[in-house]
Amino acid sequence: MENRGTIILEAGSILPEICGVNDANIGVLEELLETRIFSRGNELVIETENPEVKERCKRLVAELENQAAGGRAPTPDLIRAVHATLVSGDTGDMELLRGVSINVPGSYNRIYPRGLAQARYVRAIQTGSMVFSIGPAGTGKTYLAVACALEEVLSRRKRKLVLTRPVVEAGESLGFLPGDLTQKLNPYLRPLYDSMEAIIPHEVVSRLQENGAIEISPLAYMRGRSLRNCVVILDEAQNTTREQMKMFLTRLGEDAKAVVTGDITQIDLPRKSSSGLIHAARILKDIPEIHFSSFGPADVVRNPLIKKIIRAYERDGDEPH
């Protein structure tokens, strides 16, 4: 058929990776290019008469081949990110998407950003000294910050990783939880352990804590300290007060790197307007040395269902009750 465009891959072994398990990636390609695509031998066949779509498909597959050759398996998220970059026409974005990764010594796998927003975020952490990351749950804010920090510490570029969160009660009373102070605080800090243990083995995390190379503590314990030659991550920053945020930001000493993450739609403070994260984003946005990364529902990577849940809540917030 004349309306068919054929893409012949140089290495037939790459085709299964591009197609994905049970041809799941083919479905993503068809969705993005709005035409039927199928595999045949070491060929991809696209059924369209539109030369622009044929050319975009060829460029998309060529970039996926480059990514696969570099050790990065094509995933639906990667395919969507590459396609969005091709549509934008920004070659700098493609180089960023191709070149950014996190290599944590002793980790399970090399970590790649799953989209341009994540790639910009990772690059900002790796090259800058202070980064704010604001967006909904499931966008990888904490996970990528922890991965970058572990890369710095385990590569011995930084002496220590300090992880902190504000302890704010979201509908439950901390005082009624069982156990001593450490046991009461553990549920608040558990998500930080989860992020680390998704990257390196539990035994390594425990050893680094014993050696003082990893410290996890509530934000209140940061007062009066000066943190030097370390990476400091403030998680759930939407629940800091203005005073707490100022206190945290002024703890940074020589050769320190800070990452502040938060979701301004999940503020548990009595008054949302008192959030230190919202205040800091407003008054610090014009300081060139501080990078702000913003994520939206489209950047959710945890589970496709999360995107739909977030959008449902956004719609409900716009409707009268």
User: Residue 170 pLDDT more than 50?
Assistant: no
Residue 184 scores a pLDDT above 80: no
What values do phi and psi take at 290, rounded to 5?
A: -105, 125
Residue pair 33/25 in contact (Cβ under 8 Å)? The answer is no
Q: Which amino acid is at 286?
A: D
Those residues with Cβ within 8 angstroms of residue 55's Cβ, 6 or more apart along the chain or in another chain: none
Cα dihedral 207, 146, 282, 188 sign? negative
DSSP string, 245-275: HHHHHTTB-TT-EEEEEE-TTS--SSSGGGB
| Mean pLDDT, residues 35-41 taken together | 88
State the DSSP code for 168: -
Q: Other C-beta atoms within 10 Å of 74: how many? A: 23
β-pairing verdict for 214-218 and 257-262: unpaired
* 270-320 tens-digit pLDDT: 887 789 999 999 999 999 999 999 998 878 876 667 777 877 887 776 544
Q: For residue 194, is pLDDT > 50?
A: yes
Q: How do residues 208-257 score in pLDDT, each as one tens digit?
A: 999 999 998 889 889 899 999 999 999 999 999 999 999 999 999 999 99
Residue 10 neighbours by CB distance under 10 Å? 9
CA-CA-CA-CA torsion for 139, 197, 230, 140, nearest 10 degrees?
0
Query: In 3-50, which ranges are continuous DSSP H helix?
Result: 14-19, 24-33
pLDDT at position 172, please?
Answer: 42
pLDDT confidence tier of residue 179, bands split at 50, 70 and 90: low
The pair of structure tokens assigned to 262 is: 């938060």
- Round to whole Å and give the CA distance between 64 and 99: 13
Q: Is the pLDDT at 62 greater than 80, yes or no?
A: yes
Give me the pLDDT at residue 98, please. 84
Whole-model pTM: value is: 0.85
Cβ(3)–Cβ(48) below 8 Å: yes
Report the pLDDT value the prediction gives residue 257, as an integer from 0 to 100: 97
Structure confidence at residue 321 (pLDDT)? 45
